[in-house]
Chains A and B, each alone.
Chain A
Amino acid sequence: GAVVSQHPSWVICKSGTSVKIECRSLDFQATTMFWYRQFPKQSLMLMATSNEGSKATYEQGVEKDKFLINHASLTLSTLTVTSAHPEDSSFYICSARTPGGSSYNEQFFGPGTRLTVL
């Protein structure tokens, strides 16, 4: 299957700082990437859909100004948590969709980034 990478795999930062998380599709071009957030012992919740070359679509309740998403190329989407606070501590997972077709297995997940805000 296709490979999606995330960097960093974990990050610890002080409250008030900004953190950037990168999501890369390594062997395919992803026109669409998705950002999910997972709190401990909970499910994955979609935060936003990132489309290459256009603005991201955010889910209801997700602050656009706090979670900045940039999908500047067909292989890279970034999520920046601005002015992070302890309540933003979570596991952030991206997934990328392979272009075209109706393949069932067209969405591949990155390994996730664990953010801890002190």
Chain B
Amino acid sequence: QKEVEQNSGPLSVPEGAIASLNCTYSDRGSQSFFWYRQYSGKSPELIMFIYSNGDKEDGRFTAQLNKASQYVSLLIRDSQPSDSATYLCAVDGDTDKLIFGTGTRLQVFP
């Protein structure tokens, strides 16, 4: 059973700080890694994807991948109250489906 693990949180950070969200996965064969943001009652919104070891930056977001440790993280710089949401980590399964973690709830307080 392929698994994706996330701390459910909530992770509380002050406005302007860096939020660090972490995810581990069980399948060493996984090749594609995604972060989705989900506001309460809404559908998941893709914010980052990464395929290779190392860092990938897009605006205030940085995705980090370490395949040897089976670990992927998302950093959000200059966190804003509008970033408050649940962040879902997703990993490709043995076919084209995605396997999701249960999500980490982020709260950014003013």
On whether the two chains bind one another, the answer is: no
* A→B interface (CB under 8 Å): none
Residues of B whose CB lies within 8 Å of any CB of A are none
